Chains A and B, each alone.
Chain A
Amino acid sequence: MNSASLLANEIRYDQKLYWRNPQAAIFTFAFPVVLLVVFASINSGQSSSTLNGVQFNQYFIPAILSFGVISACYSSLAIGLVFRRDAGILKRFRGTPLPPWAFMGGVIANAAIVAIIQTVLTIGIGVAAYDLSAPRHWGPFVLALAVGIATFSAIGIAATVWVPNADAAAAVVTFPYLVVAFISGTFFPLSSSSFLTEIGRLFPVYHFIQALFAPFDPRRGGSGIAANDLAIMGIWGVAAMVFALRRFRWEPRRS
């Protein structure tokens, strides 16, 4: 069995499982799109004083895209892994010749595919319906997206370590993210001098939004690569990966 076909096989089945699970499809896929349409419609045509007159939606659409990507790569990935760990599904995989990297590679690639579909949908709706101006170069945007997918997948896998069981998964995984999402400017731009923004800057969500927004920011010259933001995300991602490699569990916690 060669590695590429093993991985392709895993991705194929994980995709089937994702789209057949109504909970995953609705909460992690449809919900971010609904948020986009509701907020963008309310604020259509308004400019943001916080951003010195930049159109609200020029900021909001890249920002809400972070919500879709993080839903797929962090929330949905982590909750899905905990559910499968609790049900003994991960333990079963460990008893087969499937190498752990191939299993995990399938899970991450599956989340990445969902995130990319989200991205195409979000940016497409933004350009078509909400006057989003496309960036001059797509490279920096694609780079930010790739770093985000990798970082939040790593954090999602690491987060499963703290979740005791499937019942607790939604709360332990989603609640801290929602709090961080608010103070990171996911739903509206934050004044850069506020205390909460300072706290938000400790977390990778803020930096992901900055990196996604940079190529769309009309005030900004240069390449549109937010190098500092990407570097901070990278540190989070590597730390999460190291932690996950040491502490990830394949078996349910015994009572």
Chain B
Amino acid sequence: MAGNADTGHGGQRVRQPAVTVSGLRKSYGPLEAVRGIDFAVEPGEVFALLGPNGAGKTTTVEILEGYRKRSAGDVSVLGMDPEHGGVRLRSRIGIVLQECGIDPFLNVTEAVRRQAGYYHSPRPISEVVSLVGLGTKANDRVKTLSGGQQRRLDLALALVGDPDLIFLDEPTTGFDPSARREAWGLVRGLSDLGKTILLTTHYMEEAQALADRVAVIAAGHIVAGGTPDSLGGRDTADAVVRFHLPDATVPTDIPVPGLADVETGHEGEVTFSTSDPIKTLHELTGWALDRGVHLAGLTVTRPSLEDVYLQITGSDEAKQ
């Protein structure tokens, strides 16, 4: 069931999904890059395909963009088969590819205007240029832009045709943290415009920050799906409690169920998990207050998206 990422949008009108993928497979010679995946992207949603390099993310997205033919399965993008969608489909999608140049001798405005000429009702050029934060670079040649600025121009080119659906293939790879945060702001802005966004990334924080729903893909399979908060059951997983034992105490001194048989780690660090963190913490801190001792470094954590992701993708790679 992990492959079926359909959570449904309760209460909404029944609308056709922007993208549906079922039983999709793609082989390159003897290598099977995508091994039967299913998901659907609802209109207006930000959907992330999350996975390590080589998992099949780009292959999947390039099939949806019409660049590659699938080996098996059914896909539909805005109600069309991307293999035969042609000009009609491409006039309604925007594409940000992983590595994709722009003619270096045009300036920013010219590059956007040239692209705008390919669409029936493009957005205003200057509006798009300032939306991606290149207002002050409007008359600069593309070859003088930094990597991050070229990526913004990429986004402007994907956006100028006013598409319904935007594909972003690893849009922030190679960005420094502040550039990444700015890019996230741009993507949220697109989402606020009502665009449907299909994003691939290998950054957990990116999926967490942007996506309404996530499908984790590893070795050509979807291995988990859901909202970023519930992925892999992390919302219901046991909490992990960690603290350092006060001096001259051993775990058995503390009257908390489950603590008696834990091992003590470096400098008296104790780590244990509990399915009921509220009760456990109450007992633990009550004991500390009664005894007047300090619980150094006390933390309570849920598994992070990264923990879940590493666990899921790691176990899948182990199967290979």
Contact of B114 among A1, A13, A87, A88 (CB under 8 A): A13
Contact of B97 among A17, A21, A92 (CB under 8 A): A92
A253 adjacent to chain B (CB < 8 Å): no
Name the residue among B65, B91, B118 with the largest chain A CB count within 10 angstroms. B118
A84 adjacent to chain B (CB < 8 Å): yes
Query: What chain B residues lie within 8 Å of A20 (beta carbons)?
Result: 105
A96 adjacent to chain B (CB < 8 Å): yes
Interface of B is mostly: loop
Q: Are B91 and A92 in contact (CB under 8 A)?
A: no
Q: Are A97 and B87 in contact (CB under 8 A)?
A: yes
B76 adjacent to chain A (CB < 8 Å): no
The answer to whether residues A97 and B101 also contact, given A17-B106, A92-B157, A251-B67 and a CB cut-off of 8 A, is no
Q: Are A98 and B106 in contact (CB under 8 A)?
A: no
Q: Are A91 and B161 in contact (CB under 8 A)?
A: no
Question: How many A-B residue contacts, CB cutoff 8 Å?
Answer: 62
Contact of A96 among B105, B106, B118, B120 (CB under 8 A): B118
The answer to whether residues A99 and B87 also contact, given A9-B117, A92-B100, A251-B67 and a CB cut-off of 8 A, is yes
Closest chain A residue to B103 by CB distance?
A: A17
Interface residues on B, range: 20 to 34
Contact of A13 among B87, B100, B106 (CB under 8 A): B106
Q: For the complex, what is the distance from the CA of A140 to the CA of B91, rounded to whole Å?
A: 44
A147 adjacent to chain B (CB < 8 Å): no
Q: Distance (Å) between the CB of A92 and the closest chain B CB? A: 5
Instruction: Convert A82-96 into 0s and 1s, putting 1 for each residue whose CB lies closer than 8 angstroms to a CB of B.
Output: 001001110110111
Interface residues on A, range: 20 to 34
A6 adjacent to chain B (CB < 8 Å): yes
The answer to whether residues A95 and B103 also contact, given A1-B120, A6-B117, A13-B114 and a CB cut-off of 8 A, is no
B115 adjacent to chain A (CB < 8 Å): yes
Q: Distance (Å) between the CB of A47 and the closest chain B CB? A: 45
Q: Are A13 and B67 in contact (CB under 8 A)?
A: no
Q: Are A87 and B101 in contact (CB under 8 A)?
A: yes
User: From residue 68 to 107 of chain A, which have CB atoms closer than 8 A to chain B?
Assistant: 84, 87-89, 91-92, 94-99
Q: For the complex, what is the distance from the CA of A84 to the CA of B103, rounded to whole Å?
A: 8
Q: Distance (Å) between the CB of A85 and the closest chain B CB? A: 10
Q: Are B119 and A97 in contact (CB under 8 A)?
A: yes
User: From residue 207 to 255 of chain A, which have CB atoms closer than 8 A to chain B?
Assistant: 251-252
Query: What chain A residues lie within 8 Å of B102 (beta carbons)?
Result: 89, 92
A136 adjacent to chain B (CB < 8 Å): no
Q: For the complex, what is the distance from the CA of A9 to the CA of B115, rounded to whole Å?
A: 10
B99 adjacent to chain A (CB < 8 Å): yes
Q: For the complex, what is the distance from the CA of A251 to the CA of B117, rounded to whole Å?
A: 23
Closest chain B residue to A95 by CB distance?
A: B95
- 8 A–B pairs (Cβ distance < 8 Å), ordered by A: A1-B119, A1-B120, A9-B114, A9-B117, A88-B97, A95-B90, A97-B90, A97-B91
Task: Pick the 8 closest A-B CB pairs, nearest first.
Answer: A87-B101, A88-B100, A20-B105, A97-B91, A95-B95, A97-B90, A97-B87, A89-B101
B residues in contact (CB < 8 Å) with A? 65-67, 87, 90-91, 93, 95, 97, 99-103, 105-106, 110, 114-115, 117-120, 157, 161
